[in-house]
Amino acid sequence: MDIFKKCHEWTEADEARGSGLYPFFHKLESRQDTEVVMEGRRRIMLGSNNYLGLTICPEVVEAGIKALEKYGTGCSGSRFLNGTLDLHLELEAEIAQFLGKDAAITFGTGFQSNAGIISAIVGMHDYVICDRENHASIYAGCQLSYGKLLRFKHNDMADLAACLDRVPEDCGAIVVVDGVFSMGGDVVNLPEVVRIAKAHGARVMVDDAHGLGVLGNGGRGTAFHYGLEREVDLYMGTFSKSLASQGGYLAGDAKVVDYVRHHSRPFIFSASLPPANAAVALAALRHLEAHPELPERLRALSVHARKGFADRGIRIRESALGVPTPIIPLYTYTTQATLVAVKEIFNRGVYVNPVLPPATPEGEALLRTSYMASHTEAQLDEAMDIIAGVMKEFPA
């Protein structure tokens, strides 16, 4: 049988295009900002992970330009060989210091970070225990490892404990959770995760891709929000969200970081982070440190949006544990209703992200809205009026 047979038989995208409801790959023609030009028209951007709005910060942009001029466009090699710049080492040192850890290493992408960290640490006789709603890159890391994967129900601490009870005493175990879950916007019950993991002798790793710059003292993330920064063993995060760049990192104990540096196949066999990306991430980190009010502004806007949707009669997915985040899902339930709603919202001048099965369970499709510290209340009110008008016209 021809291996390409499934490709030619797959018709879902063609069907959506034919109906005029295909929602993906819209063409962006401007900078990533609170308002963008997309396919020739102004749209209010409620679908970006640019949480602090730093993609257009002049000093951050300038750092990237200067790095291009000094280092050129790329390193053309692995960090192991010719690809380590002084800039990489500087960024790693400052990330570690910011998060209160001994050491850090950087990866080319956030996806590569999770794939590289987990596959290096979890060996043949080890277990990795995951929340079912963890990011796909975490599961990719589990698949790339030689260990055994156990999954627990989302934020269900009794199920987490039951999974850990299944781990043999002579096997290593690490619990890996998102700090802020990327689709639902809810926050992990980290105090209980830490307590249960420690009681079972397991380590804890938090993927804080959507937590850095959002939660905690100065935007340091989920563990700092709970005062558990000394209890979480490993932090993973990305530069592509609050830090306005591209890439990812691991921060933790120096010996663990050094082990990953020498055993992670995605790290060893990939070209290093391009100079401009590293410089932009470093400049954005320094800007965040100098402006701790930015996460506070982001939280205030998140509260404003949640109240605004409630006042307009739009049902949102409430923030678990009472922690507001800048990810606010709006229920649309069915795939058809979601596609119709997202198209009409787009046509009226607002960009939001459709989330469809299998990214959600059947019957739980939604619109994922997300916010930036640089939004104004007036922009959010305009966008919420448009969204509310569409969702009342096209109820699920």
Q: For residue 395, is pLDDT > 90?
A: no
130-152 mean pLDDT:
96
10-33 mean pLDDT:
95
In the prediction, which pLDDT does 53 show? 98
- In the chain, the number of structural domains is 2
User: Which residue type is seen at 90?
Assistant: E
Q: 168 and 20, same structural domain?
A: no
Examine the fold and report which residue of 242, 264, 290 is the final residue of a domain before the chain moves on.
290
Q: What angle do CA 230, 96, 185 make, to 5 degrees?
A: 70
Q: Which of 51-55, 191-195, 313-317 has the lowest mean pLDDT?
A: 313-317
Strand 365-370, strand 353-355: pairing: antiparallel
For residue 300, give its domain range. 5-51+292-393
Nearest to 117 by CA among 88, 147, 154, 77: 147
Dihedral angle computed from the Cα positions of residues 195, 201, 207 and 212, in that order, rounded to the nearest 10 degrees = 50
In the prediction, which pLDDT does 396 show? 54
Q: 286 and 137, same structural domain?
A: yes
Dihedral angle computed from the Cα positions of residues 267, 280, 64 and 268, in that order, rounded to the nearest 10 degrees = 0
105-110 mean pLDDT:
97
| CATH, residue 362 | 3.90.1150.10
Q: 226 and 200, same structural domain?
A: yes
Q: How buried is 355 (Cβ within 10 angstroms: 0-12 exposed, 13-18 middle, 19+ buried)?
A: buried
Q: 42 and 168, same structural domain?
A: no
Q: 81 and 163, same structural domain?
A: yes
Examine the fold and report which residue of 290, 312, 329 is the final residue of a domain before the chain moves on.
290
Q: 25 and 84, same structural domain?
A: no
Q: 215 and 174, same structural domain?
A: yes
In the prediction, which pLDDT does 44 show? 98
In the prediction, which pLDDT does 304 show? 97
Q: 297 and 194, same structural domain?
A: no
Measured in degrees and rounded to the nearest 5, phi and psi for residue 177 equal: -140, 150
